[in-house]
Amino acid sequence: MKQAGLLVVVAGVVIAAFLVLRPESKSSNEEKASTPPAVQQNQSAPSTTEATKSPEATAPAEAKVPLLEDGKTQTIKVRKGDEVHFQVKSAVPEEVHVHGYDLSKDLPAGELVDMKFKATLEGSFEIELEDSSTLLATLKVEPS
Amino acid sequence: MRCRALVSAAVIGSAMLVGPGQASAHGLIGREDLPVPDWLFGWAASTVLIISFVALGFLWRSPQLEKAQARPLFRLPLILEPLCGAIGVAVFAGLLYTGFDGVQSPQDNLLPTVVYVLFWAALVPISAMFGNVFRVFNPWRAFVRGCGWLIGRIRPNVQPLLTYPERLGRWPAVAGLVAFGWLELIAHNRDGPALLATLALVYGSIQVVGMALFGIEKWTDRADTFSVLFSIFSGISAFTVVDGQFAVRRPFSALSKMEWLPGTVFMICAAIGITAFDGASQGKLWLDTAAQLQSLLEGIGFSAPISLQIASTIGLCLAIALISGFYRLGVSGISSVDTSKTSVQLRQLFAHSLVPIALAYVVAHYFSLLVFQGQATAYLVSDPLGNGSDLLGTAQATVNYGLISATGIWYVQVGALIVGHIAGLALAHDRALVMFPNSKMAMRSQYWMLVVMVGFTSLGLWLLAQANA
């Protein structure tokens, strides 16, 4: 009897701890060790960890949109529901493909191409140049 | 057709070691899981510790899983096994054709998804839930049994030509498992349909020859990697077939009766190690280490792609060695308590408690692959060759990536590890009760197994938290 009682108490503590620790949606606290300084704006995401520029959405005058190029893989981190916006340039005619979302856009040689879409799927998705199978960036969509 | 396919496969095989390295461990879909967040990792790790200490002090006093028997329910129709075997052979032949003659893009050909998702990833939990289903659908076993039946009509009582060397035990199966792990994680063009079809054909042929020479059951139980692997996991299931009768038993209880042929312990450790390396290879620690290893190797003179493969091979071997070594360390602690048994015996006596943890690792790591790429079967089955056909009318289906949220995936992954941990502890506890009538020795042996289990489960949680961080 005592054993069963103790098990119930322990189970209760474990479940209670889970409910307390679980973040509410829309106000979760990400405790990444390398949290970069938060960029203030209405829509877009916390900045990337390895990218040289931080993505911002609808822009005031000096908005910075990451430019994806062959040879330097970047990470784009957003929350579900945010808008993803980046630019791609390729020296040769190529096709940029966002896996998971299955979005493709042709890249004429040397031209700067814009990609904008809403982050509706959670996960870590590859953005690559389709013809040469080179990874341009990893898109990470975290729960809102 | 066969000649052309073999030549192309040979070319592809030699190209296997060269070429641009692949970005992700699973090349089939470009989607990886997000790392488990810190709060969930902390909660899960604490829960594992709390559960473990509660289990140490308060678990049952008489063994519940050691003596459980299988209870026969009803007789299965005799036609069932040959029928399933025929289905297995037909499916295998069809898949070979798909691999050789279909379009060579992995996403559009049915074979890579079947091999890595439906066969490798799905059959482990399926075996654990429903029993050793692979045994009846096993194409090469069914083929040899069919031939054997035919030959038996002409010349009864044909004996196997050779005797299987018992000292070899399950080591051939282990070699096959490690080779498959290398193929899945490291080989360039691992998703190539023609390559996979060639390897499947070669593997099947080896199995057929082996079974013909050494006897079907002997070979299947020892040298067929996948038969051995799935039969180990089927020990978890409540369902089995005994003498042609469908039987039920207590889940996990069959693990305690596993046959301990040489190499079985290492097989379980290798399964955990391969999955662990798959997870580790997506994290920062490995990527940094691999980069350093690679530059070292390139300095010696290897090309970039080969350096990557060598570095990854070293990583895979390290992962398997780490798992195996940690388990041995734990068992050596038990042997200090019980000096009547050798380390080898003790390793065998407790290794069955690692099988739930191996299952947890597989579920935690492959769950999202099964949920998402598994959906791809719907359209791949209608268009297996990738040539635009629509055999079953489902060729326009797509994968719904919103089917389960990232949070849901995290809960399943963490839940699997916690449940696997509890099951492992229960099995080890039962074994200690049987082995050590002296409860003090039983407790001390349990401390050691507890350390091993907490170690493996924490490693599993850590792998989830650092993947793609």
In chain B (469 residues long), the average pLDDT of successive 10-residue segments reads 47 42 53 91 92 77 79 92 96 95 90 94 96 95 93 84 92 97 92 95 96 94 96 95 92 91 95 96 91 91 90 95 94 83 88 96 95 91 87 86 92 96 91 82 84 95 90
* CB-based contact A124 B39, cutoff 8 Å: no
Which is nearest to B223 in space by CA: B259, B176, B189, B183? B176
CA distances from A27 to A22, A24, A43, A79 (A): 11, 6, 14, 12
CB B275 within 8 A of CB B186: no
Tokens (6 digits) for B163: 């005797």
β-partners of residue A85 are A116
CA distances from B194 to B104, B120, B177, B198 (A): 7, 18, 21, 6
* CB-based contact B402 A13, cutoff 8 Å: no
Within a 10 A sphere around the Cβ of B305, how many other Cβ atoms?
A: 16
* CB-based contact B468 A140, cutoff 8 Å: yes
Share above pLDDT 90 across residues of chain A, in percent, rounded to a whole number? 26
B94-128 per-residue burial string, b: 16 or more CB within 10 A, e: under 16: ebbbbbbbbbbebbbbbbbbbbbbbbbbbbbbbbb
Cβ neighbours of residue B18 closer than 8 Å, sequence gap 6 or more:
B188, B303, B305, B306
* CB-based contact B468 A22, cutoff 8 Å: no
CB A114 within 8 A of CB A106: no
Of A3, A99, A128, the CB nearest to B31: A99
C-alpha to C-alpha distance for B194 and B112, rounded to whole angstroms: 10
C-alpha to C-alpha distance for B406 and B27, rounded to whole angstroms: 20
CB B98 within 8 A of CB B110: yes
Which is nearest to B463 in space by CA: B371, B373, B362, B369? B362
Residue A108's H or E segment, with its range, is: none
R_g of chain A computed on alpha carbons: 20
Burial zone of A74 (CB within 10 Å; 0-12 exposed, 13-18 middle, 19+ buried): buried
Which is nearest to B415 in space by CA: B47, B49, B14? B47
Residue B312 has what pLDDT?
94
C-alpha to C-alpha distance for A78 and A139, rounded to whole angstroms: 8
User: Position of tokens 């028997």?
Assistant: B69
Tokens (6 digits) for B187: 């080989």
* CB-based contact A126 B39, cutoff 8 Å: no
Mutation target among A99, A131, A144 for the B interface, most CBs of B within 10 A: A99
A87 contacts chain B (CB < 8 A): no
List CB contacts (< 8 A) between B398 and chain A. Answer: 102
Residue B72's H or E segment, with its range, is: strand B71-75
C-alpha to C-alpha distance for B468 and A49, rounded to whole angstroms: 12
pLDDT band with cut points at 50, 70 and 90 for residue A55: very low
List CB contacts (< 8 A) between A99 and chain B. Answer: 29-31
* CB-based contact A123 B54, cutoff 8 Å: no
Query: What is the three-class DSSP state of A105?
Result: strand
* CB-based contact A7 B54, cutoff 8 Å: yes
R_g of chain B computed on alpha carbons: 23
List CB contacts (< 8 A) between B34 and chain A. Answer: 122-124, 140, 142
Residue B164 has what pLDDT?
93
Residue B369 has what pLDDT?
93
CB B445 within 8 A of CB B334: yes
* CB-based contact A99 B402, cutoff 8 Å: no
* CB-based contact A10 B29, cutoff 8 Å: no
At CA B399, angle to CA A97 and CA B9, rounded to 5? Answer: 70
C-alpha to C-alpha distance for B439 and B432, rounded to whole angstroms: 9
List CB contacts (< 8 A) between B38 and chain A. Answer: 31
List CB contacts (< 8 A) between A22 and chain B. Answer: 39
Cβ neighbours of residue B412 closer than 8 Å, sequence gap 6 or more:
B363, B364, B367
Query: What is the three-class DSSP state of A130?
Result: coil
Of B20, B50, B405, the CB nearest to A143: B405
Tokens (6 digits) for B25: 């461990």
A79 contacts chain B (CB < 8 A): no
Tokens (6 digits) for B45: 């790790």
List CB contacts (< 8 A) between B20 and chain A. Answer: 132-134
Residue B372's H or E segment, with its range, is: helix B355-372
Amino acid making up residue A78? V
C-alpha to C-alpha distance for B52 and B54, rounded to whole angstroms: 5
CB B393 within 8 A of CB B383: no
List CB contacts (< 8 A) between A14 and chain B. Answer: 47, 50-51
Which is nearest to B220 in space by CA: B142, B129, B117? B142
Strands laid side by side in the B239-242 sheet: B71-75, B245-248, B239-242
ipTM reported for the complex surpasses 0.95: no
**Region class of B318: left (phi > 0), else alpha (psi between -120 and 50), else beta:** alpha
* CB-based contact B43 A17, cutoff 8 Å: yes
CB B95 within 8 A of CB B200: yes
CB B56 within 8 A of CB B446: yes
A77 contacts chain B (CB < 8 A): no
Share above pLDDT 70 across residues of chain A, in percent, rounded to a whole number? 71
Chain A residue nearest residue B28, CA to CA: A99
Q: Rounded to a whole number, what is the distance in Å from the CA of B54 to chain A's nearest CA?
A: 8
Of A99, A141, A143, the CB nearest to B30: A99
* CB-based contact A13 B38, cutoff 8 Å: no
pLDDT band with cut points at 50, 70 and 90 for residue A1: low
Q: Rounded to a whole number, what is the distance in Å from the CA of A61 to chain B's nearest CA?
A: 32
Residue B27 has what pLDDT?
60
pTM for this one? Answer: 0.87
Tell me the count of A-B CB pairs closer than 8 A. 82
Phi, psi angle pair for B26, to nearest 5°: -105, 110
Residue A63 has what pLDDT?
53
Tokens (6 digits) for B344: 């080898």
Chain B residue nearest residue A136, CA to CA: B23
CB B211 within 8 A of CB B148: no
Q: Rounded to a whole number, what is the distance in Å from the CA of B213 to chain A's nearest CA?
A: 45
CB B193 within 8 A of CB B104: yes
Residue A144 has pLDDT above 90, yes or no: no
pLDDT tens digits, residue range A60-94?
444 578 888 888 888 999 999 999 999 998 888 98
A122 contacts chain B (CB < 8 A): yes
CB B222 within 8 A of CB B261: yes
C-alpha to C-alpha distance for A44 and B419, rounded to whole angstroms: 38
Torsion of CA B38, B40, B45, B51, to 10 degrees: 160
Chain B residue nearest residue A50, CA to CA: B469
A135 contacts chain B (CB < 8 A): yes
* CB-based contact B31 A126, cutoff 8 Å: yes
C-alpha to C-alpha distance for A112 and A67, rounded to whole angstroms: 9
Within a 10 A sphere around the Cβ of A134, how many other Cβ atoms?
A: 15
Amino acid making up residue B338? D
List CB contacts (< 8 A) between B405 and chain A. Answer: 122, 143
